[in-house]
Amino acid sequence: MTDIVDELKWRGLFALSTDEDALRKALADGPVTFYCGFDPTAASLHVGHLVQVLTMRRLQQAGLRPLALVGGATGQIGDPRPTAERTLNDPETVAAWVGRLRSQIEPFLSFEGTNAAVMVNNLDWTAGLSAIEFLRDIGKHFRVNKMLTKDSVARRLESQEGISYTEFSYQLLQGMDFLELYRRYGCTLQQGGSDQWGNLTAGLDLIHRLEPEAQAHCIATPLMVKADGTKFGKTEGGAVWLDPAMTTPYAFYQFWLNVDDRDVSTYLRILSFRSREELEEMERLTQERPQARTAQRALAEELTTLVHGAGQTAAVIAASKALFGQGELDGLDAATLGAALSEVPHVRVAELGPVVDLLTEVGLAPSKSAARRTVKEGGAYVNNVKVASEDAVPAVEDLLHGRWLVLRRGKKNLAAVEVTGA
């Protein structure tokens, strides 16, 4: 177990810890039970959460026992955001989201063996707690002056909106989680992101006040930011979700495939389960031949397989190749093709018209005359078949799944036409 600290450091997953020497000793004495919490403030986890889920998997593989907490109680409050008050969701919605998040986390952990994972819900120990009990038994041990130093709280206090007592009290609820898990499961380690450090240590302080003999610890992963300064896990369309209905497997794969060369080695170390030797070799290849995108392909394939399964990964890889003429488009299932084409420029039309008109309408050519030149020069394709005539009109039989045409100009410029009246 002690090697896991060095492994986390090499991978860039060890940003903060409360007492590294004491933690190493606890790991050497073993076994250690740890937990990480996830609040159901949306219907799905996103790739930012994936850092924590995969770190839990890594710690379990090193011999630690994981408790995965999905907060049916804290999810009704929400950790204070630095900018504005959260909109509170009703308890029924939160309860449904708890189930969805549990189902997303469970496949990454093992529920067998001596260090079998356990799923927990903090609503179990808060639902029957009265306000008086909470204030007397928990609130008594928190100091407001220390709570005010938390970054998100401090920023909200400086804003015009301020912060409600509800969100301000979130630290107490998360602190109580660590205490309860210590008492119920012997949990002595909490894992989370560095932006949660104030909440992590709040629980540690509470344990030290009420269980003075306890030896407990916190570790935090770094906050991931892209090399261009934008937030990790965000695209123009918003967050990249783990739920395939919210972010398709094709879009998920493409997100990783399009990672900046400056970021890919960092993401591989943090998220991949490949060996150090394999990752160092990929870093070398990225430096020598970045245009091959070997590291991005490896990252996209591994993570898509972990999240969506090998079958979906094979389907999206086949779709990626087929769109650029390296496979058969009619071999793709409707869902995968539709997901792939939603990621490229596309238009809807009521009926089919000349290819020249379609190329112009979808934006692959600036004008009909330019579209005709493209066709004449042999650079226009419909469903990967070169368009031979400037007057060509696709037939209804050409529609993929009775609905789509894939247009391409040259080797790399893609677009799609969806026929709604076919």
Locate the DSSP E strands across 45-94. 65-70
35 annotated as a binding-site residue: yes
**Residue 189 amino acid letter:** L
147: enclosing H helix or E strand: helix 144-147
DSSP β-bridge partners for residue 239: 234
CA distance linking residue 413 with residue 411, whole number of Å: 6
Give the C-alpha separation, 422 to 415, whole Å: 19
Q: Going by C-beta distance under 8 Å and a sequence separation of 6 or more, which residues neighbour residue 135?
A: none
Report residue 220 as tokens: 């935090």
Residue written as token pair 């970045």: 290
Cis upstream peptide for 31 (omega within 30°): yes
- Report whether 25 belongs to an annotated binding site: no
Q: Any binding-site annotation on 170?
A: yes
How far apart (Å, rounded) are the C-alpha atoms in residues 98 and 77?
14
C-beta separation of 143 from 149 below 8 A? no
State the SS3 of 8-37.
HHHCCCCCEECCHHHHHHHHHHCCCEEEEE
Closest CA to 268 of 245, 241, 298: 298
Helix segments in 289-382, DSSP class H? 294-308, 310-323, 334-341, 355-361, 368-376
Q: Which strand (E) or helix (H) includes residue 404?
A: strand 404-409
Amino acid at 20: E
For residue 13, CA distances in Å to 2, 111, 174 come to 15, 24, 22
CA atoms of 370 and 365, how far apart (whole Å): 6
Provide the residue type at 203 as one letter: G
Residue among 417, 269, 411 at smallest CA distance from 342? 417
Any known ligand binding at 76?
no
**Dist. CA 355–CA 22, nearest whole Å:** 70
Beta bridge partners of 38: 70
| Cβ proximity of 331 and 384 under 8 Å | no
Which segments are annotated as binding site? 35, 170, 174, 234
Which segments are annotated as binding site for L-tyrosine? 35, 170, 174
Which segments are annotated as binding site for ATP? 234
